[in-house]
Structure 1
Amino acid sequence: MIQKLLDALIDIVLWIPRQLYGLLVDAVELMLTWIPEIDIVDLQGLFDGLGGQLLYFLTIFEFDYGITAMMTALMARFILRRIPFIG
C-alpha cells in the first residue's frame, strides 16, 4: 500500500520533467529540419580544384594523418570525460 502510494507520488513529481524533456526533444528535432542540406556530388572534382602546390604541401605535412590523430584525440577526450571520477 505504502509502496503504491510512493510510486504514484514519484510519477506525479516526475511528470513535469518528462514533459519538459519531451518538448525539448521536439524543439531540437524541429531545429534540425532548419539546417540546409549540403550537396557534394563530386568529391574528387572538389579535390582536383585545389591545385598541385597545395596538394604537395598537404602531402609533405601529412595532413591526412594529422586530421586522423586530432579526431582520435578529441574522441578519446570526450569518452574519458564521461567516466565518473576521471573527467
Structure 2
Amino acid sequence: MFQNIIDALIDIVLWLPRKLYEWLVDALEGMLDWIPEIQVADVQDVFNSLGGDMLYFLTMMEFDYGLTAIFTALLARFVLRRIPFIG
C-alpha cells in the first residue's frame, strides 16, 4: 500500500515535465513543417558540369586527398572529445 502511494506521487510529480516535453516536441514538429523542401542536385551531375580548368585546378591541388584529410581530422576530433578526461 505504501508503494502504491509513492508510485502515485511520482506519477503526479513527473506529469508536468512529460507534458512540457510533449508540447515542445509538438511545437518542433509544427515548425519543421514550415521549412520548405530543398531540391538536392545529383552530385555526379555537379562534377560533370565542371569545366576542364576547374578539374585541372582540383587535380593539381589534390582536392580528393584534402577533403579526405579534413573529414578524418573532424571525425578524430569528435571521437576524442567523447573520451572522458581527454576532451
Band of TM-score, shorter chain: 0.5 to 0.7
- Residue identity opposite 1:2 in structure 2: F
Q: Please, which moves more after superposition, 6-15 or 39-48?
A: 39-48
Q: TM-score, normalised by structure 1?
A: 0.66
CA gap 1:26/1:47 in 2 versus in 1, 3 angstroms: same
Q: Please, which moves more after superposition, 53-62 or 75-84?
A: 75-84
CA drift at 1:61: 3.7
Unaligned runs of 5+ in 1: none
- Residue identity opposite 1:11 in structure 2: D
- Residue identity opposite 2:49 in structure 1: G
Aligned length: 87
- Which residue of the partner structure matches residue 46 of structure 2? 46
Which has more radius of gyration? 2
% of aligned pairs identical? Answer: 68
Separation in structure 2 between the aligned mates of residue 13 and residue 60 of structure 1, nearest angstrom: 64
Q: TM-score, normalised by structure 2?
A: 0.66
- State the SS of the aligned residue for 1:31: helix
Q: Please, which moves more after superposition, 12-21 or 58-67?
A: 58-67
